[in-house]
């Protein structure tokens, strides 16, 4: 909690734009002081901070690369110095493979880069946050929310590294949820489906056609705000007993159908 404002504090990685910024905005609307991270401190990052502050809360930006495990302590120190101890951590930062290659042709460099950010980096940052939470007593339950992907269970053979990283995150959530349940820290996984962001701009026409053909029962693209709504719900201390829950935010994409 931020002792100056008496508001709860949230940290959202990858919060400069897209899903991360929408999640951060959702939490700001809910009354959280919000810290966001990204790999660059630029005009986009500063504009994001101003957007968050427009909701009447304190906000800060800390540049850092989730892949750099040795830098995690500095990032968390900066967040705590600016706002206070973290009550809600949203692990959102992630990357796609530099090259989309068939599973039989992909490279160690592709694999190591994706898992270094999406799995190894995400795991150790969540571990660091959890340990800091445990050191600061709180009468109010806290939460860690991991933004994963429907790719945790759906195969894409031209980016299997990404799928493997997200499947690994699913086990990270289960492990942390089981370990932290007795300490008032809930851990959840949110699995977005096909979401319209800058990252999916290059495949818009492809998925427009597939959605029109019935790929998504809801018959539309997902929006960053859909993810934000799920995260806000899970950040609510009242749902702490639902720890370990996986929430699919995909318009029914992953429902098995004949």
Q: Catalytic residue positions?
A: 162
Helix or strand (DSSP H, E) at 36 = strand 33-38
Name, in order, each residue with C-beta under 8 angstroms of 130's C-beta and a sequence gap of 6 or more: 144, 176, 179, 180, 185
56: left (phi over 0), alpha (psi -120 to 50) or beta: left
Q: CA-to-CA distance for 146 and 43, rounded, in angstroms?
A: 27
Helix ranges (H only) for the chain are: 18-29, 43-53, 72-82, 108-115, 122-135, 160-180, 204-212, 224-235
Q: Show Cβ contacts of residue 180 under 8 Å, excluding neighbours closer than 6 positions.
A: 130, 134, 144, 186, 187, 243
Axis-axis angle for helices 224-235, 18-29 (nearest 10): 40
């Amino acid at each position: 909690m931020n002792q100056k404002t008496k508001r709860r504090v949230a940290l959202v990685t990858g919060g400069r734009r897209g899903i991360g910024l929408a999640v951060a905005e959702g939490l700001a609307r809910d009354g959280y002081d919000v810290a966001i991270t990204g790999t660059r401190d630029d005009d986009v990052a500063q504009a994001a901070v101003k957007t968050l502050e427009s909701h009447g809360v304190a906000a800060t930006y800390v540049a850092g690369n989730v892949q750099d495990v040795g830098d995690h302590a500095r990032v968390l120190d900066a967040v705590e110095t600016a706002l206070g101890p973290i009550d809600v951590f949203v692990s959102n930062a992630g990357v796609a493979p530099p090259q989309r290659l068939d599973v039989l042709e992909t490279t160690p460099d592709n694999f190591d880069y994706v898992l270094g950010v999406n799995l190894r980096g995400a795991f150790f940052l969540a571990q660091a946050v959890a340990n800091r939470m445990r050191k600061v007593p709180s009468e109010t339950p806290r939460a860690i929310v991991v933004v994963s992907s429907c790719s945790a269970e759906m195969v894409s053979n031209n980016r299997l590294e990404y799928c493997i990283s997200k499947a690994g995150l699913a086990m990270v959530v289960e492990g942390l949820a089981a370990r932290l349940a007795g300490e008032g820290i809930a851990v959840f996984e949110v699995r977005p489906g096909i979401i319209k962001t800058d990252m999916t701009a290059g495949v818009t026409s492809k998925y427009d056609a597939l959605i029109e053909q019935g790929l998504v029962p809801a018959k539309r693209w997902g929006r960053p705000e859909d993810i934000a709504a799920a995260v806000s719900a899970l950040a609510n201390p009242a749902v702490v007993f639902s720890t370990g829950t996986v929430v699919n935010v995909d318009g029914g994409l992953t429902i098995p159908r004949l």
